[in-house]
Amino acid sequence: MFFMIKDYIDRSRVLRETKRDRIWELRLARYKTSKAWRAKRLIRLTLDRHRCQQCQHRATDVRHLSYHHVGRERLRDLQSLCDVCQLKERNNAFWH
């Protein structure tokens, strides 16, 4: 009986966390299509002279260094990256 209750509680927790993660992903995706994000992205790219902050090639994207302040992030919380470095960062985040 104890194991059945524990298993139920564990499954419930996983389902709640999965739902919370999915809601977060939807909110982030919506924000990334907003005018506010496009404006901050353009400002960051302009400040960095459209140069990747890791390899100095032409930057094509801006990423968050931290997701704690999404929607009210400071420019120092953003980093301009080229396609190659952006892909490396995504792979590093996936494996760590």
Q: Going from the N-terminus, what domains does the chain have, and what CATH number goes with each?
A: 2-95 (3.40.1800)
Q: Which residues are CB-contacts of 40 (< 8 A; sequence separation ≥ 6)?
A: 62, 73, 75, 78
* Predicted TM-score of the model (pTM): 0.74
**In the predicted model, is pLDDT for residue 6 greater than 70?**
no
pLDDT in tens, 60-95: 999 999 888 899 999 999 999 999 999 998 887 655
Q: Please give the pLDDT value at position 21.
A: 85
pLDDT in tens, 25-72: 899 899 999 999 999 999 999 999 999 999 999 999 999 998 888 999
